[in-house]
């Protein structure tokens, strides 16, 4: 089979061994292979934040209050025996995209399936189950039978994301994530009702995302989208035999930007993002993050937040969806490649000037407030006259600075920075 073109950010340069999801971070941790602290965090801890307990995909008081468990552990429906005939694949493609958007997806695209995109071994759905009749199929066999991948996803709320490394940022991430779980489950069910097969837990989302043009792969290891930047989820895509027309990889200048910017590497609290060049890993040329140091931070910050999101927040592509953002992406897209470094330097300077080299914006939402220092308590809700017994002496919040733990200088001590 020919090597698929994945855009300028990722290149297949050698033989690719299909990734076994059972060797990825969460399953490794579930089995206790990442040490006691992480194992305990995954299985035995309960978040002190009520919203995290209903929206985040692991440690809770009661999983029945978590909608993703309900959705991911449900038995999958049967394929309708009465097929809806598809004579025009382009019309069906427009339809399925309209359906995904109607259900609430922010981004939807179609990739042509390729054996290198498939997971090896059994199906994997986080905190759920996925089984189908094709588990014994080889990646090549799967692709022959099911040639298309539907990537549908939701974006995180920009304003709340500014409070990354805080429960407010978690809300932006987790609420759109559980919403995405529901949309994909509904879309999967709808494809089966059309009379076609829809498989889950089979495809590497990142590969499908670059192949379908959802975005390009950044230095931070995240898919960077032309409308939302890095603030989109990469949920489990749908592999299907529904006749569709696939989309192409895009060039929005991520390749040129990441070469120069390094803002995510500077801000990463665990120094898990490389300052260096791309490497060939498992036959794929890309920026390689250190997932282990990234993952290991979690138990230590469990009282303050769940999902770090720093690299996604500080990425200059992650901006509200406004005209000036579209203009900047359009300029990058249309600029001839040799001239792009100049444009990137200019855009990076603007980004540093207006959003700060290190992001420290104070964000308030409901009764959350990032202006309150970690470990302190205060009620900053305007007009509240209720007696809060636990509010101590520290109920003073001044200025516009938000506090996000851990501070970078605290982690520089124990995580070594690479070259």
Partner 1 sequence: MAFRQGHDDDPYWKFFINTPPVDPANSVTELIRSAPEGNIFPTKAELHTPEITSGHVKEMARYLGADLVGVARLDAKDEQFPFAVVCAQRADYDPRTSPGVGGQVPVQNGLFTTFVLSAWIRELGFRATATANARAEQLAAAAGLGTLDAGGRLVTREFGTRVHVADVILTDLPLAPDG
84 binds partner 1 (CB under 8 A): yes
Assigned token pair, 119: 């997971």
25 binds partner 1 (CB under 8 A): no
The answer to whether the beta carbons of residues 49 and 118 sit under 8 Å apart is no
> What minimum distance in Å lies between the beta carbon of 207 and partner 1?
27
> What minimum distance in Å lies between the beta carbon of 229 and partner 1?
21
> What minimum distance in Å lies between the beta carbon of 1 and partner 1?
31
Pick between residue 140 and residue 159 the one whose CB is nearest to partner 1. 159
Residues 6+ apart with CB under 8 A from 33: none
DSSP-derived secondary structure letter, 63: G
Residues 6+ apart with CB under 8 A from 288: 221, 274, 278, 279, 281
> What minimum distance in Å lies between the beta carbon of 173 and partner 1?
13
Pick between residue 10 and residue 309 the one whose CB is nearest to partner 1. 309
Interface mask (CB under 8 A) for partner 1, residues 122-161, using x and -? -----------------------------------x----
Query: 50, 121, 320, 356: which one contacts partner 1 (CB under 8 A)?
Result: 50
Pick between residue 27 and residue 104 the one whose CB is nearest to partner 1. 104
327 binds partner 1 (CB under 8 A): no
Interface mask (CB under 8 A) for partner 1, residues 366-385, using x and -? xx-----------x-x-xxx
Residue range at the interface with partner 1 (CB under 8 A); choices 16-24, 53-61, 210-218, 257-265: 53-61
The answer to whether the beta carbons of residues 203 and 113 sit under 8 Å apart is yes
Residues 6+ apart with CB under 8 A from 7: 210, 213, 216, 249, 250, 251, 255
3-state secondary structure of 141: helix
Interface mask (CB under 8 A) for partner 1, residues 91-110, using x and -? xx-xx--xx--xxx------
Residues 6+ apart with CB under 8 A from 303: 48
> What minimum distance in Å lies between the beta carbon of 74 and partner 1?
5
> What minimum distance in Å lies between the beta carbon of 81 and partner 1?
8
The answer to whether the beta carbons of residues 29 and 42 sit under 8 Å apart is yes
89 binds partner 1 (CB under 8 A): no
> What minimum distance in Å lies between the beta carbon of 245 and partner 1?
15
Interface mask (CB under 8 A) for partner 1, residues 190-229, using x and -? x-xxx-----------------------------------
Query: 2, 323, 338, 390: which one contacts partner 1 (CB under 8 A)?
Result: 390
76 binds partner 1 (CB under 8 A): yes
The answer to whether the beta carbons of residues 239 and 146 sit under 8 Å apart is yes
**CB-count burial class (<10 Å; 0-12, 13-18, 19+) for 416:** exposed
What values do phi and psi take at 321, rounded to 5?
-80, 80
Q: Strand 279-281 vs strand 284-286: parallel, antiparallel, or unpaired? A: antiparallel
61 binds partner 1 (CB under 8 A): yes
Residue range at the interface with partner 1 (CB under 8 A); choices 65-73, 313-321, 331-339, 400-408: 65-73
Q: Which residues of 373-399 are buried (b: 16+ CB within 10 A; e: fewer)?
A: ebeeebbeeeeeeeeeeeeeeeeebee
CA distance 177 to 370: 22
- Residues numbered 158-197 forming contacts with partner 1, rule: CB under 8 A: 171, 175, 178-179, 182, 185-186, 188-190, 192-194
CA distance 297 to 411: 9
Can the peptide bond before residue 263 be classed as cis, meaning omega within 30 degrees of 0?
Answer: no
70 binds partner 1 (CB under 8 A): yes
**Residue 281, beta-bridge partner list:** 284
Pick between residue 133 and residue 390 the one whose CB is nearest to partner 1. 390
Element at 256 (helix H, strand E): helix 254-260
Give the residues lining the site for partner 1 (CB under 8 A).
50-51, 53-55, 61-67, 70-71, 74-78, 80-82, 84, 88, 91-92, 94-95, 98-99, 102-104, 157, 171, 175, 178-179, 182, 185-186, 188-190, 192-194, 365-367, 379, 381, 383-386, 388-390
């Amino acid at each position: 089979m020919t090597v698929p073109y994945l855009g300028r950010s990722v290149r297949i340069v050698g033989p690719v061994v299909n990734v076994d999801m059972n060797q990825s971070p969460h399953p490794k941790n579930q089995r206790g292979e990442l040490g006691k602290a992480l194992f305990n965090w995954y299985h035995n801890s309960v978040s002190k934040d009520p919203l995290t307990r209903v929206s985040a995909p692991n440690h809770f008081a009661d999983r029945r209050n978590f909608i993703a468990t309900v959705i991911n552990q449900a038995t999958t429906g049967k394929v309708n025996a009465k097929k809806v005939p598809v004579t025009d694949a382009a019309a069906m493609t427009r339809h399925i995209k309209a359906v995904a958007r109607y259900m609430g997806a922010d981004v939807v695209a179609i990739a042509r399936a390729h054996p290198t995109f498939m997971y090896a071994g059994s199906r994997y759905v986080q905190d759920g189950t996925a089984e189908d009749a094709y588990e014994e199929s080889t990646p090549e066999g799967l692709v022959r039978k099911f040639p298309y991948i539907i990537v549908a996803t939701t974006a995180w709320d920009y304003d709340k994301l500014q409070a990354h490394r805080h429960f407010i940022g978690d809300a932006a991430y987790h609420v759109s994530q559980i919403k995405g779980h529901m949309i994909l489950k509904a879309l999967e069910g709808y494809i089966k009702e059309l009379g076609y097969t829809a498989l889950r837990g089979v495809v590497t989302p990142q590969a499908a995302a670059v192949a379908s043009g959802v975005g390009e792969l950044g230095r931070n290891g995240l898919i960077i989208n032309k409308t939302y930047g890095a603030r989109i989820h990469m949920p489990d895509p749908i592999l299907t035999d529904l006749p569709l027309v696939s989309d192409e990889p895009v060039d929005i200048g991520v390749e040129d930007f990441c070469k120069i910017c390094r803002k995510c590497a500077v801000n990463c609290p665990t120094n898990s993002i490389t300052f260096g060049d791309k490497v060939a890993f498992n036959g794929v040329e890309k920026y390689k993050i250190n997932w282990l140091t990234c993952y290991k931070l979690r138990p230590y910050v469990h009282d303050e937040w769940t999902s770090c999101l720093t690299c996604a927040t500080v990425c200059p592509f992650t901006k509200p969806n406004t005209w000036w953002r579209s203009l900047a992406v359009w300029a990058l897209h249309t600029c001839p490649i040799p001239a792009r470094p100049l444009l990137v330097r200019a855009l990076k300077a603007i980004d540093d000037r207006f959003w700060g080299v290190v992001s420290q914006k104070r964000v308030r939402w409901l009764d959350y407030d990032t202006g309150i220092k970690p470990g302190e308590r205060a009620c900053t809700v305007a007009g509240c006259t209720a007696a809060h017994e636990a509010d101590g002496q520290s109920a003073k919040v001044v200025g516009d600075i938000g506090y996000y733990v851990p501070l970078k200088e605290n982690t520089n001590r124990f995580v070594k920075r690479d070259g």
